[in-house]
Amino acid sequence: MDIDTDISGKCAYKEIHDEFDKSKKVAILDDGFSVLSIKKNINIILIDANIDIFIQNVIPAGILREPLSVLKYADIIVVNKCNPELLKNSPAFKKNTENKIRKYNERCPVFYSYYKPDKLISKYTAMSCEDLKGKKIITVCAIGNPDYFYENLINCGAVIHYKMEFQDHYAYNENDINSIKNLLDKNEKCIVITTLKDYVKLKRFNKPDIFDKIYHLDFEIAIDKYFFKYIYNNYIKYCREKE
pLDDT in tens, 58-94: 998 988 989 999 999 999 999 999 988 888 888 899 9
Beta-carbon contacts of 137 under 8 Å, excluding residues fewer than 6 positions away, are: 153, 158, 159, 160, 161, 190, 191, 192, 193
Q: Are both 28 and 51 inside the same structural domain? A: yes
Helix (H, G, I), strand (E, B) or coil at 220: strand
Of 16, 18, 19, 21, the residue nearest 5 (C-alpha):
21
Residue 196 resides in a domain: yes
Q: Are both 12 and 91 inside the same structural domain? A: yes
Distances (CA, A) of 237 to 7, 13, 35: 20, 25, 25
Q: Which residues are paired to 139 by β-bridges?
A: 163, 193
Residue 195 resides in a domain: yes
The reported pLDDT for the residue numbered 131 is: 94
Total structural domains within the chain: 2
Cβ atoms of 47 and 105 within 8 Å: the answer is: no
For the cut 70, the answer to whether the pLDDT of residue 207 exceeds it is yes
H or E element at residue 86: helix 84-89
Give the pLDDT confidence of 85-135 residue by residue, as tens digits: 888 888 899 999 999 999 999 999 999 999 999 999 998 889 999 999 999
Q: Which residues are paired to 162 by β-bridges?
A: 138
Across the chain, mean pLDDT equals 86
Q: Are both 132 and 215 inside the same structural domain? A: yes
Q: Are both 182 and 127 inside the same structural domain? A: yes
Beta-strand relationship, 6-7 and 38-39? antiparallel
Cβ atoms of 27 and 16 within 8 Å: the answer is: yes
d(CA 61, CA 65) in angstroms, rounded, equals 10
The reported pLDDT for the residue numbered 36 is: 76
- Percentage of residues of the chain with pLDDT beyond 70: 86
Q: Are both 68 and 129 inside the same structural domain? A: no
Q: Are both 121 and 101 inside the same structural domain? A: no
Q: Are both 53 and 144 inside the same structural domain? A: no
This model's pTM is above 0.85: no
Give the pLDDT confidence of 134-161 residue by residue, as tens digits: 999 999 999 988 999 999 999 999 999 9
Q: Are both 108 and 10 inside the same structural domain? A: yes
Q: Are both 228 and 111 inside the same structural domain? A: yes
Amino acid (1-letter code) at residue 219: F
Residue 42 resides in a domain: yes
Question: Whole domain around residue 13: which residue ranges?
Answer: 6-115+222-242
Residue 1 resides in a domain: no
Q: Are both 100 and 155 inside the same structural domain? A: no
- The percent of the chain in helix, strand and coil, each rounded to the nearest 5, is 40, 25, 35
Q: Are both 145 and 26 inside the same structural domain? A: no
The reported pLDDT for the residue numbered 30 is: 80
Residue 40 resides in a domain: yes
Q: Are both 189 and 125 inside the same structural domain? A: yes
Of 199, 225, 227, the residue nearest 213 (C-alpha):
199
Cβ atoms of 172 and 195 within 8 Å: the answer is: no
